[in-house]
Amino acid sequence: MSEAKVKSAATAREREGAAPPLTIRGLSAAYQKKPVLRGVSFTVTEGELIGVIGPNGAGKSTMMKAALGLIPRLGGEVLVYGKPYKQQRKLVGYVPQRESVDWDFPTNALDVVMMGRYGHLGLFGRPGAKERAIAMECLAKVGMADFASRQISQLSGGQQQRVFLARALAQDASLYFMDEPFAGVDAATEKAIITLLQELKLQGKTVIVVHHDLATVEEYFDSVLLLNVELVAYGKTKEVFNQQLLQRTYGGRLAFLDRNSLSKTDSAEG
Amino acid sequence: MNTLWTLLRDPNMQWILLSCTLLGLSSGIIGCFSYLRKQSLMGDTLAHAALPGICIAFMLTGTKSILYFLIGAGLAGVAATFGIGWITRHSRVKHDAAMGIVLSSFFGLGIVLLTLVQHGGYGNQAGLDKFLFGQAASMVGSDVLTLSIVSLLLVTICYFLFKQFKLVSFDPGFAKGIGYPVAMLEQLLMFLMVVAVVVGIQAVGVILVASLIITPAVSARYWTDRLGVMVVVSGLFGAISGASGAIVSSTGDSLPTGPLTVLAATLLFLLSLLFGSKRGILVRRMVQQRMKRSLGYGYEEQAATASVDDRLNKEASL
């Protein structure tokens, strides 16, 4: 890492001392009576892109939602830059799954991005020219400036995803949670998103991403969190993204996985 | 026409007209959020659930005061909400079915109580049955004042908490993430809906009051893709419906206000459905035609219709 990068990363750290962006201790959550997340603990390093990997039902989204307080926790502690999450909300940005909202809602792209500023407005504060300018800037960063006044149902899936990302950018957070931002987007959007993630990283921000495509994990992420209800492994991608640990994460589904990753390597070589 | 003019000059009528207009306005505005949160039918459930609440309030106090009715209907609404929640949590019954069960049982109880009240020894029970279909003309001065103040209060709350209501309706998860008290805001929206329903009951009646919550909002959606505009248009549609209901019912032979208000709202809905500038049938047709033409289908279609016409002509001549 160059000096310049370290310096830009220092802003959040100066504000918050030397505490890591996120520390999770013993986080558990359940839907009805079935535990879907059991005693997960880890600490993330600042300025990293972290991939959260695991089979369906492994509790990846649940972990994010429980950490953000969107669903009740059974137990555990979440520290953001050394303090309880509730005191640090403004430092945290969130990109929910695209399907979590009704895109037929009467609003346009710019308006959705401006929602990212709501956390910075007071109880009765109304978004004004300043918020509008910030939102436009964020839309431009994801290549959506031309679609600002487009009704959101008139956008493609990839464009909707980019609007959600722009909204997270407008939050101007230091730590981001993104729930499957790459799900169902075309190659162009995927490239736009990963470029943006790398830009955030250069600014010293930390991004935690729920990810499904094992073929791109090594290329995209500095660290990987392998999850299957319990934490299987967490560490640098080089160290933990290996056959043995993946086997433990995905269990019986590995045969399929093996063939899959093999064919991908084949096609990449061919 | 002359009678209408005399009616409108009657100060009593003016007050009733004003309160019905404000009532429609506030229901239309609240209705937008209910509609977008897919809670439209909840309004209907709450309205039907209000009837036993009103009857019990009357039986306990012996007066026909809107304030007591509000409390009774509000408590009944809360009970209904809890009932629905309890059924969905503790059985495999889905939300819509649970609403159906609660709605009909509360309404049944309401009718039983209403009958008891009418045959009981209550002195001034006359007019309580007006709560079924609404009778704006039967409102007295204090009712009008209460209704107007409550309606204005609803509108004011929606104005000041617009940002919060919007985000909670669109993306409650994100709202929670930035620290909004989402559960509280949702409860508040539900409470405002109960209030809108209850104040609407005297003018529109328990059976139909929900349509003042649902119809203006649905109609407004045909005219705009912006929530701010939709809320204003919906409020306007509600106000027009409320006013026309009040006017027509007082000119006619004691026609009930509720059905007339609902018919006015439905007329506005039909107009919106046809001519709405964003989603109306005509606009959609026009866009489709333009698209077809730009893709070069126009000529073929003309040719196709021409040949059909030819054939029809031939058949006719045979």
Model-level pTM greater than 0.95? Answer: no
The answer to whether the beta carbons of residues A222 and A48 sit under 8 Å apart is yes
**What pLDDT is recorded for position A89?**
87
pLDDT tens per residue, range A97-152 = 888 899 999 999 999 999 999 988 888 888 889 999 999 999 999 989 999 999 99
Mean pLDDT throughout B48-58? 89
Query: Is B261 touching A (CB cutoff 8 A)?
Result: no
Whether the predicted pLDDT of B116 surpasses 90: no
Tell me the residue ranges of DSSP E strands in A34-122.
34-44, 49-53, 75-80, 83-84, 92-95
Question: Which DSSP symbol is given to A87?
Answer: G
Question: Residue ranges per domain, chain B?
Answer: 2-279, 286-317
* Cβ neighbours of B166 in A, within 8 Å: 107, 115
Q: pLDDT, tens digit, for every residue of B230-245?
A: 999 999 999 999 999 8
Cα–Cα distance measured from residue A42 to residue A47, given in angstroms and rounded to the nearest whole number = 16
Residue A72 C-alpha, separation from nearest chain B C-alpha, in angstroms: 12
As a whole number, the mean pLDDT across chain B is: 85
Domain range for A58 is 3-269
B128 and B114 Cβ atoms separated by less than 8 Å: yes
Which residues of chain B make contact with A171, given a CB cutoff of 8 A? 178
A101 interface with B at CB cutoff 8 Å: yes
Residue A75 at interface with chain B, using a CB cutoff of 8 Å: no
Topology of the domain comprising B2-279: ABC transporter involved in vitamin B12 uptake, BtuC (1.10.3470)
pLDDT, position B299: 56
Residues in A closer than 8 angstroms to B176, CB to CB, are 68-70
Partners of A43 in the β-ladder? A23
pLDDT digits 0-9 by tens, B137-194? 777 777 888 888 989 999 999 999 999 999 999 999 899 888 899 989 998 998 898 8
Highest mean pLDDT: which of A10-19, A73-82, B290-299?
A73-82
DSSP A148: T
In chain A, the number of structural domains is 1
- pLDDT-above-90 percentage for chain B: 38
What are the backbone dihedrals phi and psi of residue A175, each rounded to the nearest 5 degrees, phi first?
-125, 130
Distances (CA, A) of B28 to A132, A168, B147, B193, B264: 28, 32, 15, 10, 13
Tokens of A5: 């990068």
Using left for φ > 0, alpha for ψ between -120 and 50, and beta otherwise, residue B205 falls in: left
CA–CA separation, B77 and B49 (whole Å): 6
Give the model's confidence band at B31: pLDDT under 50 very low, under 70 low, under 90 confident, else very high: very high
**Number of CB pairs < 8 Å for A and B?**
69
The reported pLDDT for the residue numbered A10 is 47
- pLDDT, tens only, A181-231: 998 888 888 988 999 999 999 999 999 999 988 888 888 999 999 998 888
DSSP A227: E
Nearest alpha-carbon partner for B234 in B246, B245, B243, B222: B222
| Residue B161 confidence (pLDDT) | 95
Q: Is the pLDDT of residue A249 over 90?
A: no
Q: Which residue has the higher pLDDT, B201 or A252?
A: B201
Q: State whether residue B159 sits within 8 Å of chain A by CB.
A: no
Instruction: Say if the Cβ atoms of A89 and B179 lie within 8 Å.
Output: yes
What CATH number is given to the structural domain containing A87? Answer: 3.40.50.300
ipTM of the predicted assembly exceeds 0.85:
no
Q: Is B29 on the interface with A (CB under 8 A)?
A: no
Q: How far apart are CA B165 and CA B171, in angstroms?
A: 10
The confidence score (pLDDT) of residue A43 equals: 92
Would you place residue A30 in the very low, low, confident or very high pLDDT band (cuts 50, 70, 90)? confident
